[in-house]
A and B are shown apart, each in its own frame.
Chain A
Amino acid sequence: MTGCPSDLKLEMHLLDPARSGVGEHVAGCQRCKDELAQMDEEGRHFYRFVYPATLEAVSAPRRRRWANWLLISLAPVAAAAAVLLAVRTQPPSDYSGTKGGGLHLEPFVATASGPRAVSDGEAIPAASALRFRVRSSAACTLWIISVDGAGTVSRLYPPQGPSGASIRGEVTTPGGVRLDGKAGPERFFAVCARNDPGFARVEEAARVVAGGGASVVRKTGALPGLSPETAQSSVLVEKAP
């Protein structure tokens, strides 16, 4: 044993350093500082991805047993409604945010009544929580990235790692994102290719769009400079204060 505090004590320290009782040790222990830095990083991941994606389910009132029975009995009706909704939320045929074919990005915004598909160009609250569903007709490696009117490029999925995510068919990406609360346009780009272009290449293309400001973000449906085989799909949202 090294005498370092346990993970539980370090959690207490993160919550309330004054009361944790381990502040003196931590201040003089590089190993504990490293551990706390890693915990802090994991906490940031939680706030950025896990919290917005799960808050609604966590805070939703628990259903009573009779309500569960009611839901079971209505399941066929709900399934039919879901099919109709899926058809209704397809993009229009002249949708300009798709390139390369075979890829479709569909963001969902969390609302009080549950998640709802977002239409291209729709205004939504500036601090909304979003999740993404992607459909690809072929196996490919996916990246999702966003560019806002202020020129900020945000890597969304996969959140970490050197490689994109391998997908085929329909995928709802794990976790979600919360918008930054600042008004203005933000465009979400899904990029999927058989040969992974790598995040640096995707980010570089996104920065070209970001450099053009809000009007370019609104007009540009596909990231420039990626190989012609790269399928793309994008959706614009207008963040409303």
Chain B
Amino acid sequence: MVDDQARIAGLYHRYGPAVYRRCLRLLRNPEAASDATQEIFRKLLQDGLHDDPDVALPWMWRIATNHCLNQRRNAQRRGETELQPDLMVRAEEAPGGERRLVQRVLSRFDQKTQAIAVGVLVEGMEHEEVADVLGVSRKTVSRKLALFLLNARKYLERTSP
């Protein structure tokens, strides 16, 4: 048990900052990011966390992304405001209009589409990289992204004064 706990502490020490930063970027709230990191890591450890960063990092990135986007969506449904500020973005990387589009309509889409939209439009990831991280085909990324943009614009046209 002691050896196991030492291994867990080692993995948490190694990968914890990456998960924390991911949550901080998506939740924009240090306390929420801290709590989310703890929850995500417990899940990761329960499922069996790999030591190899090539395997572990993309996997935990996906789990963290889904977890945090889910938290944002739940917070919005409950009308809580502390988890709804703009996503922390590297501003110049994505076309401004599309990035703003993501901010406004994100919570209306399913979890996978949210993750794809954030990855490509907010964080400037290549389609192939998003596909690798999320475990879907590149074609799925392109298709869901196109649908996201189409439906998001339609939604904004309907709701614009």
Binding site for B on A (CB under 8 A): 1-2, 4, 6-9, 11-12, 14-16, 19, 35, 39, 42-43, 45-47, 49-51, 53-55, 57-59, 61-62, 174-175
Known: A8-B129, A45-B30, A62-B46. A50 touches B57 (CB 8 A): no
Residues of B within 8 A of A8 (CB): 57-58, 61, 125, 129, 133
Asked if residues B42 and A57 are in contact (CB atoms below 8 Å), the reply is yes
With A and B bound together, what is the CA distance between A2 and B124 in angstroms? 9
Asked if residues A175 and B42 are in contact (CB atoms below 8 Å), the reply is no
Asked if residues B18 and A2 are in contact (CB atoms below 8 Å), the reply is no
**CB neighbors of A among B11-66 (8 A):** 12-18, 20-22, 24-25, 30-31, 34, 37-38, 41-42, 45-46, 53-54, 57-58, 61
Tell me, yes or no, whether B146 is within 8 Å of chain A by CB. Answer: no
What are the 8 A-B residue pairs with the smallest beta carbon separation, nearest first? A43-B17, A54-B38, A6-B125, A59-B8, A46-B20, A46-B17, A11-B18, A174-B31
Asked if residues A58 and B41 are in contact (CB atoms below 8 Å), the reply is yes
Residues of B within 8 A of A47 (CB): 13, 17
With A and B bound together, what is the CA distance between A19 and B52 in angstroms? 12
Residues of A within 8 A of B17 (CB): 14, 39, 42-43, 46-47
Given contacts A16-B53, A45-B30, 20 further A-B contacts (CB under 8 A): A6-B123, A6-B126, A7-B21, A7-B25, A8-B58, A8-B129, A12-B54, A14-B18, A15-B15, A39-B21, A43-B21, A46-B20, A51-B13, A54-B37, A54-B41, A58-B38, A58-B42, A59-B8, A59-B45, A174-B30
Partner of A2 from B14, B21, B24, B93 at Cβ < 8 Å: B93
Asked if residues B124 and A6 are in contact (CB atoms below 8 Å), the reply is yes
Q: What's the dominant secondary structure at chain A's contact region?
A: helix
Residues of B within 8 A of A4 (CB): 90, 93, 124
With A and B bound together, what is the CA distance between A51 and B31 in angstroms? 13
With A and B bound together, what is the CA distance between A49 and B38 in angstroms? 12
Residues of B within 8 A of A14 (CB): 17-18
Q: What's the dominant secondary structure at chain B's contact region?
A: helix
Asked if residues B57 and A58 are in contact (CB atoms below 8 Å), the reply is no
B-side interface residues, number (CB < 8 Å): 41
Residues of B within 8 A of A7 (CB): 21-22, 25, 90, 123
With A and B bound together, what is the CA distance between A230 and B149 in angstroms? 55
Tell me, yes or no, whether B92 is within 8 Å of chain A by CB. Answer: yes
Query: Can you name 17 A-B residue pairings with CB atoms under 8 Å?
Result: A1-B93, A2-B124, A4-B93, A7-B22, A7-B25, A8-B133, A11-B22, A12-B54, A35-B90, A39-B17, A39-B21, A46-B20, A49-B34, A51-B16, A54-B38, A55-B12, A58-B45
Asked if residues B16 and A50 are in contact (CB atoms below 8 Å), the reply is yes
Known: A42-B17, A174-B31, A175-B34. A58 touches B12 (CB 8 A): yes
Residues of A within 8 A of B90 (CB): 4, 7, 35
The winner among B16, B18, B25 for most chain A CB atoms within 10 A is: B18
Asked if residues B124 and A1 are in contact (CB atoms below 8 Å), the reply is yes
Residues of B within 8 A of A51 (CB): 12-13, 16
Asked if residues B57 and A11 are in contact (CB atoms below 8 Å), the reply is yes
Q: How far is the CB of B48 from chain A (nearest CB, A)?
A: 13
Asked if residues B20 and A42 are in contact (CB atoms below 8 Å), the reply is yes
